[in-house]
């Protein structure tokens, strides 16, 4: 499996927060952790911005996508707004998570809790070629339940 080196910075006061980490050998996503100063309660229907205590310098041509954790979604109704969130290669600020509680009970965010996943991948920028017509396909313009 191909690996790339990515610089990561633990922001001051977050030396106790683990760096993002793969939980199995073949995981695509790394778990990322909450860097809240103290426990925070997210009530049902409420959303909060949660810090992670890290910043990254992705290589040009790569992005990081921030995604929900399936176990939190299924068991607690906790997910991310703006999902997947995109971390661009030129962003150097702290990665933060926009958590929403779709569950029925208040959710307590604890320091060091695994809250989301980060997937780093290569991307391509598009150069548009304007045309007066597109090639035909069997599907055509059918969408929204067409298949």
Query: Looking at residues 92-116, what average pLDDT do you find?
Result: 98
Q: What is the mean pLDDT of the chain?
A: 96
- Write down the pTM of the prediction: 0.89
Token pair 């683990």: residue: 18
Confidence (pLDDT) at 140 = 85
What is the fold, at CATH topology level, of the domain defined by 7-122?
Deoxyuridine 5'-Triphosphate Nucleotidohydrolase; Chain A (2.70.40)
Residue 47: pLDDT over 80: yes
Query: What is the layout of strands, in order, in the sheet containing 96-101?
Result: 47-51, 96-101, 78-80
Cα 141 to its chain centre, rounded Å, is 31
Contact 86, 63 (CB under 8 A): yes
48-51 contact pairs (CB < 8 A, 24+): 48/98, 48/99, 48/109, 49/96, 49/97, 49/98, 49/99, 50/96, 50/97, 50/98, 50/99, 50/109, 50/115, 51/94, 51/96
What are the φ/ψ torsions at residue 132 (nearest 5 degrees)? -85, -20
Q: What percent of the chain has pLDDT over 70?
A: 99
Residue 9 has pLDDT above 80, yes or no: yes
Non-local (6+) Cβ contacts of 21 within 8 A are: 30, 31
* 37 secondary structure, DSSP code: S
Q: Where are the domains of the chain?
A: 7-122
């Amino acid at each position: 499996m191909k690996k790339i080196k990515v610089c990561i910075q633990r922001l001051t006061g977050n030396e106790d927060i683990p760096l993002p980490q793969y939980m199995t050998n073949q995981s695509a996503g790394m778990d990322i952790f909450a860097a809240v100063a103290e426990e925070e309660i997210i009530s049902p229907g409420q959303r909060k911005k949660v810090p992670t205590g890290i910043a990254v310098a992705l290589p040009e041509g790569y992005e990081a996508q921030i995604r929900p954790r399936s176990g939190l979604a299924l068991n607690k109704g906790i997910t991310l707004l703006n999902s997947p969130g995109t971390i661009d290669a030129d962003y150097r600020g702290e990665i933060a998570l926009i958590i929403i509680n779709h569950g029925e009970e208040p959710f307590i965010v604890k320091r060091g809790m695994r809250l989301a996943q980060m997937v780093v991948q290569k991307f391509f920028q598009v150069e548009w070629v304007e045309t007066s017509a597109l090639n035909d396909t069997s599907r055509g313009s059918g969408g929204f339940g067409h298949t």
